[in-house]
């Protein structure tokens, strides 16, 4: 592979490499000002700007207040940009009675690739029985679930669910938070076939991705940027310019997600 | 196609009590990362001045980087009342002697406020010496910053730590205070660079890597992939900082 990181210095799209962003958001978010309101149109423009093929998003309104409304918005974005924008079905254990029916609404839509929960908003620990109806259903269907985790403790608290529901492929987000605890993160991820992590993080420190790759099974690391929650540009640069093996980089940028999502 | 020239306003080096694995801390490690990411020049702060002995550390910094044409000193400053640190006039004289054209608020637990720093801010403002200020060091955050800028309209502040959630706070301040600049190291809102340039011009953003606490590659890509003109990218990447440093009046 040519030194693709040179493209970052010039702000050029990276061509000839399949890049899949496994963790993003769409739509506006009330907590802070988003200049482009996280619009699907700008998301696709930014993907083109970097040379990213597609991204998998969850609707911000879905976890902030109304998951049903969020999923409708997500379905519209997916329909508008097939093959560029995919969605996660947004669920909330607070409203556990409609979790399965929400999955059923979208599970046959090829634009949806999994389920997303946001624990820092719904404040329901992963060990809570409130998740059970959705986990059981997802386990039967072998679905992917992206979990917002922040730090090694949160990530490790997802392990019992991964052990119980072995057909669900769990992605623990923001795995570089507290990278100093990487050995603990590696222990959880490397010993479970159905446990993945992503790279989305606004404040990653210098050298962090190199450390993650050193300890964590590199087939389980997915490129994710939180696109449209904040800029995707900087995580893109951080991964593409990382001082890691080129084959590992290709796995992280797209090949691992390609296999996981079967796209 | 010409590579954008990068001049980093927010980098430091030197051993520290805690560091993460793979985090560069020596001057040589930092320079090798700069090469990898295409960072051409940097204002450097020195950990020995920040976490050790501020005056000794600042002076030592000038010595340690004197042969590096890409590196320029940025001194840590603090109030002088305890006698640990020069008075504002002595400081400016020393900066002139050593040709140090920028400084930064030191990271210890003293309070950044009018009562402690008013005289220092007056001196820095008078000589147009830019001051790097982390928003986390100002009591009451953006409200506290508003008070400082209201009292010291000529003080050139390069604010660090402005996060992607802070545009509602930073836009009013940018519109009120022309001498307020933002380091881009944490300025990561979704098209936040683009929106800020549209509203306030490219002149108000200054490239900062935040290395080694933050990723240098990330900070470079935030600018190179911004959807703004090449001319504006160049201003943010190095032009604005060069201009500020050239305008220092000793
Ligand atoms: Zn996210």
Dist. CA A23 → ligand 1 center (Å)? 6
Cβ–Cβ gap A36/B22 under 8 Å: no
- Measured torsion, CA atoms of residues B155, B160, B166, B170, in degrees rounded to the nearest 10: 20
> pLDDT-based confidence at B204, cuts 50/70/90?
very high
Per-chain mean pLDDT for chain A: 95
In this predicted structure, which of A21-25, A195-199, B47-51, B126-130 has the lowest mean pLDDT?
B47-51
Q: Does A2 score more than 60 pLDDT? A: no
d(CA A126, CA A162): 10
Looking at residue A96, its pLDDT comes to 86
Segment A115-128, tens digit of pLDDT = 999 988 888 999 99
Q: Does A3 score more than 80 pLDDT? A: no
Q: Does B183 score more than 50 pLDDT? A: yes
Residue ranges of the domains in chain A?
A: 20-261
Residue ranges of the domains in chain B?
A: 12-246
Retrieve residue B214's tokens: 């933050």
Closest of A257, A259, A216, A262 to residue A24, by C-alpha: A257
d(CA A256, CA A149): 20
In chain B, the residue whose alpha carbon lies closest to the alpha carbon of A50 is B225
Q: Which residues pair with A190 in a beta bridge?
A: none
Query: What are the chain A neighbours of B24 within 8 Å (beta carbons)?
Result: 206-207
Name residues whose C-beta falls within 8 Å of residue A16's C-beta, 6 or more positions apart in sequence.
none
What's domain B12-246's superfamily in CATH?
Metal-dependent hydrolases (3.20.20.140)
Q: How far is CA B153 from the centre of its chain?
A: 18
Which among A202, A208, A243 has the least Cβ separation from residue B188?
Answer: A202
* pLDDT average, residue stretch A47-75: 95
In chain A, the residue whose alpha carbon lies closest to the alpha carbon of B167 is A33
Closest of B65, B80, B91 to residue B116, by C-alpha: B80
Cβ–Cβ gap A35/B36 under 8 Å: no
d(CA A163, CA A161): 5
* pLDDT average, residue stretch A87-108: 94
d(CA A231, CA A225): 8
Contact A253, A53 (CB under 8 A): no
Closest of B20, B214, B15 to residue A183, by C-alpha: B20
Burial class (CB in 10 A: 0-12, 13-18, 19+), A239: buried
Output Rg (C-alpha) for chain A, integer angstroms: 17
Dist. CA A25 → ligand 1 center (Å)? 6
Give one word for A242, left, alpha or beta, with left for phi > 0 and alpha for psi -120 to 50: beta
d(CA A250, CA A260): 14
Eight-state DSSP code of residue A230 = B
Burial B197-210 (b: 16+ CB within 10 A, else e): beebebbbbbbbbb
Closest of A120, A130, A124 to residue A151, by C-alpha: A120
Segment B64-85, tens digit of pLDDT = 999 999 999 999 999 999 999 9
Per-chain mean pLDDT for chain B: 97
Query: What are the chain A neighbours of B168 within 8 Å (beta carbons)?
Result: 32-33
Q: Which residues pair with A21 in a beta bridge?
A: A55
Smallest CA–CA distance, residue A17 to chain B, in Å, is 18
Cβ–Cβ gap A204/B214 under 8 Å: yes
* pLDDT average, residue stretch A227-256: 97
Q: How far apart are the first and last CA of chain A?
A: 23
Q: Does B95 score more than 90 pLDDT? A: yes
Cis preceding-peptide flag for B212 (omega within 30 of 0): yes
Number of other residues whose CB lies within 10 A of the CB of residue B224: 21
Looking at residue A1, its pLDDT comes to 45
d(CA B48, CA B29): 17
CATH architecture of A20-261: Alpha-Beta Barrel (3.20)
Dist. CA A173 → ligand 1 center (Å)? 7
Residue corresponding to tokens 């800020």: B196
> pLDDT-based confidence at B2, cuts 50/70/90?
confident
Largest pairwise CA distance in chain B: 53
> pLDDT-based confidence at B112, cuts 50/70/90?
very high
Rounded to 5 degrees, φ, ψ at B154 are -90, -5
Is the interface score ipTM higher than 0.85?
yes
Cβ–Cβ gap B186/A34 under 8 Å: no
CA distances from B172 to A32, B33, B87, B121, B166 (A): 15, 36, 33, 22, 11
* pLDDT average, residue stretch A209-223: 98
pTM above 0.90, yes or no: yes
């Amino acid at each position: 592979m040519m030194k693709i990181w040179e493209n970052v210095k010039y702000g050029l799209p990276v061509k000839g490499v399949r890049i899949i962003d496994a963790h993003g958001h769409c739509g506006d978010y009330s907590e802070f000002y988003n200049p482009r309101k996280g619009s699907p149109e700008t998301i696709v423009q930014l993907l083109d700007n970097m040379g990213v093929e597609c991204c998998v998003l969850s609707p911000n309104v879905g976890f902030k207040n109304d998951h049903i409304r969020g999923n409708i918005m997500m379905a519209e974005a997916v329909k508008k940009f097939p093959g560029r924008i995919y969605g996660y079905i947004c669920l909330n254990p607070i409203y556990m009675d409609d979790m399965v029916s929400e999955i059923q609404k979208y599970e046959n839509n090829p634009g949806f690739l999994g389920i997303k929960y946001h624990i820092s908003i719904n404040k329901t620990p992963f060990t809570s029985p409130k998740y059970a109806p959705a986990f059981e259903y997802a386990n039967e269907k072998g679905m992917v679930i992206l979990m917002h985790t922040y730090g090694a403790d949160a990530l490790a608290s997802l392990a019992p669910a991964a052990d119980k529901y072995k057909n669900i492929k769990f992605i623990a987000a923001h795995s570089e938070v507290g990278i100093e605890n990487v050995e603990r993160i590696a222990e959880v991820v490397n010993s479970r076939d159905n446990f993945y992590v992503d790279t989305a993080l606004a404040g990653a420190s210098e050298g962090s991705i190199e450390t993650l790759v050193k300890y964590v099974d590199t087939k389980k690391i997915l490129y994710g940027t939180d696109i449209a929650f904040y800029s995707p540009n900087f995580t893109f640069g951080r991964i593409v310019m990382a001082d890691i093996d080129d084959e590992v980089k290709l796995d992280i940028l797209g090949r691992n997600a390609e296999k996981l999502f079967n796209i | 196609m010409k590579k954008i020239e990068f001049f980093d306003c927010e980098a430091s080096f030197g051993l520290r009590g805690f560091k993460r694995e793979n985090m560069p801390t020596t001057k040589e490690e930092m320079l090798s990362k700069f090469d990898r990411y295409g960072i051409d020049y940097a204002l450097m702060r020195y950990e020995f001045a920040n976490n050790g002995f501020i005056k000794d550390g600042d002076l030592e910094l000038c010595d340690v980087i004197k042969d590096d044409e890409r590196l320029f000193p940025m001194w840590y400053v603090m109030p002088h009342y305890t006698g640990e640190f020069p008075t504002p006039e002595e400081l400016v004289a020393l900066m002139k002697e050593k040709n140090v054209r920028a400084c930064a608020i030191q990271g210890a637990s003293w309070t950044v406020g009018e009562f402690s720093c008013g005289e220092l801010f007056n001196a820095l403002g008078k000589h147009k010496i830019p001051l790097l200020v982390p928003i986390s060091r100002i009591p009451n955050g953006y409200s506290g910053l508003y008070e400082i800028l209201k009292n010291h309209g000529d003080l050139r502040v390069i604010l660090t730590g402005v996060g992607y959630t802070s545009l509602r706070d930073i836009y009013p301040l940018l519109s009120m205070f022309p001498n307020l600049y933002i380091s881009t190291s944490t300025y990561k809102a979704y098209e936040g660079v683009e929106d800020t340039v549209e509203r306030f011009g490219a002149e108000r953003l200054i490239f900062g890597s935040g290395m080694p606490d933050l990723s240098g590659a990330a900070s470079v890509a935030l600018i190179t992939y911004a959807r703004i003109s090449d001319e504006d990218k160049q201003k943010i990447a190095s032009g604005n900082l060069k201009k500020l440093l050239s305008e220092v009046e000793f």
